[in-house]
A and B are shown apart, each in its own frame.
Chain A
Amino acid sequence: MRVLVVEDDGPVASGIIDGLSMAAFESLHVETGHAALTAMATFEPDLVLLDLGLPDMDGSEVCRSIRASSQTPIIVVSARDDEIDRVVALEMGADDYVVKPFGMRELVARIRAVSRRTVAHAGVPGAGEVGADGVSAEDAGTTERVLGSLIIDTRSQRVSLAGTVIYFTPTEFDLLVYLSGDAGAVHRRADILHDVWETTWHGTTKTLDAHVAAIRKKLGNPGWIESVRGVGFRFGTPE
């Protein structure tokens, strides 16, 4: 999979490129909007990571220009997280919006999610194969995620444990889906908050713990979500 990184900040760009190559993506870095539009033809990327603050033209303008000639998925990467910025970017044809600072794991997960989504729409097979880990259940074409006795249906937002339906609040459900999406991996607190709450500000430091505790209580076994001290949480199957 080829990713075009449009980012004028050198260190951020090389960090992203480094991470992308570790995740086995092929990538090209350009620093300006014009270079990005040229690279669309020469590099033929499968996905564009677009920073909004470019030196030569506005990021949303680049977004619109790309969208005018191609359906290549675009993920906007921005330091601005005002709702208006998100809305403008999405209106201009962006497929997702990531706010700095982000971690590589989150970025890769989003790249996979976006390309999966657009591939499903476009009917092009094979693009989803890169992200084999953790999303296998959905790749099989179903919206159900089965983890031992726990079944999470992401479409109907239903969760059942050993055949009994359990009701979660929307936030709890999102958190459960997020954590169980990469079972066994440790999710960092900052990433979880950034991704599930979708706001960079989380009122208190213990908001996450409170929701995790609520999920554990509803699942009846604290073993489902294991705390990793000083880092975050790991989803496991207690059986």
Chain B
Amino acid sequence: MAALMGIALLVLLVQDIPLSGYLRQVETDRLVTSLERDAFVLAGRSEETLETTVPPDATAAKDMASEAAALTAAARRYRDSGGARVVIVNTDGIAIVTSDDDQSIVGDSYLSRPEIAGALGGQITSGHRYSDTLQIDLLYVTVPVVNGQKVIGAVRLTFPEQVVADAVARQIGVLGVVALTTVVLAGIVGFIFSARVTRRLKRLQQATERLADGDLDARADELSGAPEIRSLSVSFNRMATRLEALIEQQRRFAADASHQLRTPLTALRLRLEGARELLEESAASGGTGNGTVRGTGSVSTGAAIERLAAAEAEADRLGSIIEGILMLSRSESRAAPVVKFDVARVARERVEHWQPLAQELGLGIRYEGPERARVTAIATAPEQIIDNFVDNALSVSTSTDGVGNDIVVRVAAAGAAWRVAVLDRGPGLSDEDCARAFDRFWRADSDALGNGLGLAIVAQLARASRATVRLERRPGGGLEASVTFAARP
């Protein structure tokens, strides 16, 4: 809205500044023209007075005086009706009549004034001039008084420049009021309009946020609002539909591929198992065969059994990757409801769950944190995330019979949220690996048997729970894996 008013103001300024210059010009021209017309009228009237500069007799002199007085009166009337100051000079440049109340300048010579000299030379002059006498800018018009072919005097009309400036200022003032009204109106209209647009945009924004949060059903209202908003909504909906289709397609592909891979994997496993069992049987019954052949045979049979067992382990790993992909594609498609958890209780339970294994490995594991920490997450997410972190911590920790290598599951408040961290004193990871560890199929060098999907699933569970996960290097060595859950409202 402010922008709209700003634009209106800018447009008005851009238009009005040159306009005021133009107005000044027009006003000046208009004044000059009317002054010229008035000057000619006065010149016509002053012809008789100026014709006879030297009175032939007393009657004539008296007539002349009365004529001059009448002319003076006319000049004053003219001045009083809003006209200009009038000075009429004879051919010698001597002032004969003025409109001034003070008649003291009558008889003064005006020949030094360039416009008077010009007019006595037969020219019409007009322009601005600074008057040394009056110490103001003057706008003047001077016309010659002509009788036949002869210049017999001149009429000069002057206006203080200020009058022009005032007239222009008045007009500009009117323009300003109009401009101001326009700006205020633009503001009001803009406010009403933008409020409506903003409301529609807010709704569209809400739909966008819902989509971004993974609600693939989020759609915008295509039927109301300004045409631009409606068309934006249509575009948004097209995008959302396409996105939904693509995600569904990708998920379905992952699921189908996993299912399809299960069948040949079954055949592979059965074959490997069958081969191994055949060899095991022949090794077991080898005692009845030829002694020398059995000797070499049993060594190679044993090695073959070993290799087949290794191949079976790899088939298992392949199976675990397939299951991981299926798990991921499922958790992506399902919008599981967010429920309430006491994450402190879950963390304590998990520590208890892992205690015996940690003990077997010669490691300690303990819980640090409050009695209760209420958060929201999707079902089983806190448990699975903590298990994954502890699993990784157990894999990298080494027993030194000291207390320093204990694994700590720590729950602590993080602002309005609760942060669950699993801390170990293993070799840790580089910052680069910490950032990449949540990527699919990323595997630590030490994790030769993993499927590379554990942390990717953790990240997915966290996303679905509106939680954030992080890996950080611990000062003093080791890793801190953490998940921050939104506190239960």
Contacts and interface: CB of A to CB of B under 8 A. Distances in A.
Interface of A: 9, 11-12, 14-16, 18-19, 22, 79-80, 99-105, 188-190, 200-201, 203-207, 209-210, 212-214, 216-217, 222, 230-231
Contacts of A79: 259-260, 262-263, 266
B263 A9 contact: yes
Contact of A15 (B262, B267, B326): B267
Q: Which of B262, B264, B320, B354 has the most CB of A within 10 A?
A: B262
A18 B270 contact: yes
A41 to B, nearest CB: 28
Contacts of A99: 262
Given A103-B270, A210-B357, 8 more contacts: A22-B278, A79-B260, A100-B266, A200-B319, A201-B323, A203-B384, A216-B360, A230-B313
B327 interface: yes
Contact of B274 (A19, A101, A213): A19
Nearest to A214: B356
A205 B263 contact: no
Interface string B257-283: 001101111111111011001100100
Contact of B316 (A80, A190, A222): A190
A19 to B, nearest CB: 6
Contact of A222 (B312, B360, B384, B390): B360
A189 B316 contact: yes
Given A201-B324, A213-B356, A15 B271 contact: yes
Given A9-B263, A79-B263, A204-B391, A209 B357 contact: yes
B359 interface: yes
A100 B274 contact: no
B391 A22 contact: no
B450 A205 contact: yes
Contacts of A231: 309, 313
Q: Which of A101, A105, A205, A231 has the most CB of B within 10 A?
A: A101
Q: Which of B264, B323, B326, B450 has the most CB of A within 10 A?
A: B323
30 contacts: A9-B264, A11-B264, A11-B271, A19-B273, A22-B278, A79-B263, A100-B262, A100-B266, A101-B319, A103-B273, A104-B270, A105-B273, A188-B312, A200-B319, A201-B323, A201-B327, A203-B384, A204-B390, A205-B449, A206-B357, A206-B391, A206-B395, A207-B391, A210-B354, A210-B356, A213-B359, A213-B360, A222-B360, A230-B313, A231-B313
Interface of B: 259-260, 262-271, 273-274, 277-278, 281, 309, 312-313, 315-316, 319-320, 323-324, 326-327, 353-354, 356-357, 359-360, 384, 387-388, 390-391, 394-395, 449-450, 454
Nearest to A217: B356
Given A203-B387, A213-B359, A15 B259 contact: no
Q: Is the interface of B mostly helix, strand, loop or mixed?
A: helix
B92 to A, nearest CB: 122
A107 B169 CA distance: 104
B266 A200 contact: no
A11 B274 CA distance: 13
Contact of A22 (B274, B313, B324): B274
4 closest A-B pairs by beta carbon, nearest first, are: A15-B270, A11-B267, A213-B356, A204-B391
Contacts of A213: 356-357, 359-360
Given A22-B277, A79-B260, A216-B356, A204 B387 contact: yes
B97 to A, nearest CB: 116
Given A9-B267, A16-B270, A19-B270, A207 B387 contact: yes
Q: Which of B316, B327, B395 has the most CB of A within 10 A?
A: B316
Nearest to B270: A15
A56 to B, nearest CB: 18
B326 A201 contact: yes
Nearest to B395: A206
Contacts of B271: 11, 15, 18
Contacts of B387: 203-204, 207
Contacts of B269: 15, 101-103
B394 A206 contact: yes
